[in-house]
Chains A and B, each alone.
Chain A
Amino acid sequence: MPEILEKKTLAPKIHQFKFYAPRIVKKAKPGQFVILRANEYAERIPMSIAGLDKQKGTLTIVVLEVGKSTAFLGSLETGDVILDLFGPLGQPTEMGNFGTVVCVGGGIGIAPLYPLIEGFKSFGNKVITIIGARSQNLLIKEKELGSVSDEIICTTDDGSYGMKGLVTDALAYVLEKEKVGLVMAVGPVVMMRAVSDLTKTYAVKTMVSLNPIMVDGTGMCGGCRVVVDGKNQFACVDGPDFDGHQVDFENLLMRQRAYQIQEKNSYESYQCKVLNSVKVV
């Protein structure tokens, strides 16, 4: 069973886990994802790969606690084991020389940018990285991403750090001053939609990494279907990267709300249980 080699809490409710998974790491490429299942009761959760160490055979993922399964994952520590780690899944991000590439990350979507930036750099691109969060304490990985990018711009909604505003404000600034060959966006659906809307007006190719509701991750259930250029695609096998100018974001946003109520109830009752067990102790 996969053991947690290292856990780091990067921000409130945001944790980084490193696993030893040589077989997955050997095959994994930037842009792919894994599915993990923490315990017998847990969901199969798709997670973008946030780091790969080919020599050591380790894989990094970053988890945001949003529901019961992710909260349980967040409660695990270095040395704990999870039941299942499965992958690599999906198509790798299409790499190549695009001249200047802007990598845009929002919230938890900042984490998987690291292997992407490394990849784009290895193809000789100039990489400008834009990362954004609601507030300074939620802005993760600035140093790490800055160390591999040519330039990094941070934004916060509340102006507590970097540029006050959204990642799209910073992106508009970059698009005005530079000729950009590709924009790669990873983050909340609304952010990826806003980025795609903006780059469309500049006619700059834009890829987005989608993370819809998914069960098996092998093309079997079709739960992750997204509309791209008017046709259904399965994010798990055809994606997760798609042309942002072709994605039906409205449908994606709607489908992401499918289990909102159930998930909220399940998370709340889990938190109650955790609180009660703490009291007993």
Chain B
Amino acid sequence: MKRFLIPLSCCLLSLAACDWRVFNDFERQATVQVIEPPRNFAGTNFGQAVAPVLDENGGIVPNTFLAGGNGTTPLAVVTVSETGAISRKTCRIDAGISVSSITPLPAKNGRWRALLSDGNYQMANLVNFDPDEDEPKLQVEGNLSGLAQLFGIGTLHGDFDGDRTPDVAVASRNRLYFFDEALQTAHQHIFDYPHNFFVPAMQDAGTRILAPVVREGKILLAIGGMISNDTGNTTWAVLLVSVNPGFTFETQVLQGDFSNPDARVCSLATGAANDDANDDLVVGICNETLLFLAKTGTTEWFSAQPDRVVAEDGKMRGRIVALSDLNQDGKPELAIADPEEPIESNRNGEVLFYDLQISADTPLLQLKAPKEEKRFGTSLFSLKTIWKDGRTELVVGGANVSYLFFLTGLPGDDDPVLHDPR
């Protein structure tokens, strides 16, 4: 009897057992990986600023990005493995800073580099670190502070003047600074905005108001802000700046109607929306998004009037904007995030995708916030991956996490089940 009972109970157990490991698989198979702050990330708003990492040739390091937030150790390196698993490393820094924007710089001597703007827009730090360390320590290469109001509200890296040496552009409220990569003030160049143009404060972290526009092989700088008229009325405006050799400048201003007072640029995105080689400009003016297609053969780079407007009554369809070819069809989709739905809407933010080839205002896809998320869509970032020939995936910022969306399900996207690249 004893011999019989023990195998019987074992059989019962084995027959009835539920396999909880299937949920571990689900966690790995989830089409949205939730990227929480690393364990020793001492800060908040993790992911409010995200940026890729550049290798020594200036190319994007796939499957990797930097995520910044507020706090004493506000920067983390996030790596997505080929199995879909996420690993995060916190970068240590001696002095506590906050990271409101990150501009990657090409790596040097095996160390990754980035220009970090602080949350008060008083300072910009050029840091580097060894990515192979378990907890990389940030080393400050250069530091700039106190040069102008809202200094560092936007930063860019590139060869803007065409002299084949990389420059660093730092936007402030009223002017644009240009430095060499070593951030030496001795070699700085300043471009003052037109007198009625300025960049307002109170920008959301993670928004981009300084964006590069590639036009005929040359990088233009697009600065989002506001413009006022003689009567003191203001409206949104985008200042386009072309830097000529010797740091002479050409500009074009795109602006709104003064009948729409207090409109401002919340976010800018650039990329090739159509088949020409020039980047097009997407301007989020908080409640609507305007698409300006690059013009060729004229002195104006863009038409004064937008080529397309995305708007919806009562909705903020222009807070965070991005262009990204998420479905690998060679044409980018427009992504618009609104992290701050009205409280009465009982929603916690959303991300909408629009096909720029179709003029309809109906979004292709709507990503809803997960249950616990309160501010879904604080940032949008296209992560370059090595899967499927370098396809991009979408990283959406949340209140204190980032969401990595695999296979968003856009038309043309792969079948999530059959063609999961992982």
Say if A and B assemble together: no
Interface residues of A (CB under 8 A from B): none
